[in-house]
């Protein structure tokens, strides 16, 4: 069967086999209508079976029956296949969808195609009972579309891939020094100017190579509404990220008054065409605050998520140290230093969002200088930020770069395309433990979950994103979903055996994953410099 993520409990039923055929009907109980639509659009399309409506939840005949069982916890499901009857019950609609995803896996790799390859066949199923549910409420994937833009169709495709792996939070990194990707009607230059750069560094920033053509693009507000609705149908929450006060050169290029005009000629800035961390950061002025309040007002209309991500990472403060305006604000607020100024800036938006019923989340640098109550932390610089946040009573999403940054290289071999960072193999990701050691049970409850991050500086198209993301996202999904043994005790050999089946599903989905034996010739990038780091990654 090769189920991924592995379910908590699976047993065989006496009938020995199940089947789907042209007579199979799909019965959707109250609250499961969306899952029924998804099944017809995916499994129905792949099998060629009509999955017609008909019959009652308690009736007889060849049927798939979907239902909500309030006795089950949220996102949990029970799948029973017995002869021509298949029942999927969930604690809520999300649980029903996760059960339907498992049903799709049981049908075999051809159930992941877009049209039938054997249209006249009946589809066999193992007669099993599967009972399952997630460990974490936040099972996330962050996709950086600022460095390399991914068109809307690619984003929708990744939402489907997430749902197939029972991931439920899409962290949408929409702005950075190299591009602004979301339409803000109040400030049209953010996309007119800020979404395009003149050229792009090819490879790591130390590479001498450039792609000498404009790169860019953005999502209209209707595109965003479509993405959010598409995600919601798959029980995925979209958390937008607008980076402040650093990683903001694209915004400053569009509206120079947002920058530190008393230090640099911001009118001469363009959208950044290189990688790394730009020194051009937002000015800590009332004008900047009002501008970004206008941005977030439109953003809240587009994204109904509880959390809004404000970045807050890697804010170089040299310009603030040189800026009379910034220094005057530090004195006016009675702050100790520039770290305190960043905390004030982030705290302003934490309060602003809280008044509107939302919660701020940011990278772990937002802890420096103090963090507003109710704000949450994405711990990326190892475990330390997450430990500090949880001990201080803040909710945490664990995404340490040393473990789950999927832009890091997958092998030490010379053929790895544009090798970045430490080697993080499929097994390394499988042995990642999201809850840090040393937390009390009460502190550990602040760990909302975990997230894999895909930064796209050296990923010029969706095939490169696929290569870096898969198959490691499958291992991450099992870590995020299941209650696995301690890292050293996990059955990686068993996971590999299940992956042998799962690779065929990824093939059917058209995923350009890294093969176990190494990259295909067309996946290599000979002569394009990366930045490999040797040895084990530091434990922080």
Active site positions, annotated:
176, 247, 314
Nearest CA to 166 out of 129, 137, 125, 145 is that of: 137
> What tokens appear for 497 in the block?
């055996």
- Between CA 108 and CA 126 the distance in angstroms is 10
Nearest CA to 86 out of 35, 135, 161, 133 is that of: 35
Which three-class secondary structure string do you get for 219-280? ECHHHHHHHHHHHHHCCCEEEEEEEECCCCHHHHHHCHHHECCCCCCHHHCCCCCCCCCCCC
Q: Which residues of 116-152 are buried (b: 16+ CB within 10 A; e: fewer)?
A: beeeeeebebebbbbbbbbbbebbbbbbbbbbbbbeb
Backbone angles phi, psi at 393, to 5 degrees: 90, 15
Check if the beta carbon of residue 190 is closer than 8 Å to that of residue 176: no
Taking the CA atoms of residue 99, residue 102, residue 106 and residue 109 in that order, the dihedral angle to the nearest 10 degrees is: 140
Beta-carbon count within 10 A of 399 CB: 26
Q: How far is CA 460 from CA 123, 146, 148, 236, in A?
A: 39, 11, 6, 26
- Between CA 225 and CA 144 the distance in angstroms is 19
């Amino acid at each position: 069967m090769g189920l991924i993520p592995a379910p908590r409990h699976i047993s065989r039923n006496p009938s020995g086999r199940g089947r789907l055929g042209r007579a199979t009907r799909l019965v959707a109980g109250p609250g499961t209508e969306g899952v029924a639509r998804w099944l017809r659009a995916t499994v129905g399309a792949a099998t060629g079976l009509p999955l017609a409506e008909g019959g009652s939840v308690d009736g007889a005949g060849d049927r798939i029956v979907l239902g909500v069982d309030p006795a089950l916890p949220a996102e949990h499901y029970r799948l029973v296949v017995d002869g021509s009857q298949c029942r999927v019950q969930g604690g809520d609609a999300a649980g029903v969808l996760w059960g339907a995803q498992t049903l799709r896996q049981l049908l075999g790799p051809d159930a992941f195609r877009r049209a039938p390859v054997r249209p006249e066949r009946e589809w066999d199923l193992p007669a099993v009972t599967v009972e399952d549910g997630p460990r974490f409420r936040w099972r996330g994937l962050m996709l950086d579309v600022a460095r390399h833009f991914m068109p809307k169709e690619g984003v929708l495709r990744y939402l489907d891939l997430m749902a197939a792996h029972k991931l439920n939070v899409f962290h949408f990194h929409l702005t950075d020094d190299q591009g602004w990707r979301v339409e803000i009607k109040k400030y049209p230059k953010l996309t007119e100017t800020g979404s395009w750069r003149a050229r792009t560094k090819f490879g790591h920033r130390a590479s001498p190579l450039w792609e000498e053509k404009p790169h860019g693009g953005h999502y209209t507000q209707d595109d965003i509404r479509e993405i959010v609705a598409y995600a919601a149908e798959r029980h995925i929450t979209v958390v937008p990220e607008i980076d402040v006060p650093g990683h903001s050169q694209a915004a400053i290029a569009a509206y120079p008054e947002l920058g530190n005009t008393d230090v640099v000629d911001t009118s001469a800035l363009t959208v950044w065409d290189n990688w790394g961390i730009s020194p051009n950061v937002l000015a800590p002025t009332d004008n900047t605050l009002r501008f970004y309040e206008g941005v977030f007002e439109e953003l809240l209309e587009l994204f109904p998520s509880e959390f809004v991500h404000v970045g807050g990472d890697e804010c170089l403060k040299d310009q603030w140290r040189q800026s009379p305006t910034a220094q005057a604000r530090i004195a006016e607020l009675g702050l100790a230093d520039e770290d305190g100024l960043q905390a004030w800036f982030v705290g302003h938006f934490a309060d602003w969002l809280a008044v509107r019923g939302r919660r701020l989340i940011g990278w772990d640098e937002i802890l420096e200088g103090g963090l507003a109550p109710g704000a949450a932390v994405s711990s990326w610089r190892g475990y330390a930020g997450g430990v500090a946040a949880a001990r201080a009573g803040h909710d945490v999403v664990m995404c340490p770069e040393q473990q789950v940054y999927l832009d890091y290289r997958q092998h030490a071999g010379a053929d790895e395309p544009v090798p970045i960072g430490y080697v993080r193999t499929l097994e390394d990701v499988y042995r990642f433990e999201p809850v840090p050691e040393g937390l009390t049970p009460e502190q550990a409850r602040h760990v909302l979950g975990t997230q894999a991050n895909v930064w796209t500086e050296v990923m010029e198209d969706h095939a490169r994103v696929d290569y870096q993301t898969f198959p490691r996202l499958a291992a991450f999904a099992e870590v995020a979903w299941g209650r696995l043994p301690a890292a050293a005790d996990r059955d990686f050999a068993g996971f590999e055996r299940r992956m042998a089946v799962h690779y065929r599903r990824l093939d059917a989905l058209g995923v350009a994953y890294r093969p176990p034996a190494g990259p295909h010739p067309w996946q290599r990038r000979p002569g394009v410099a990366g930045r490999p780091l040797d040895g084990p990654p530091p434990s922080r």
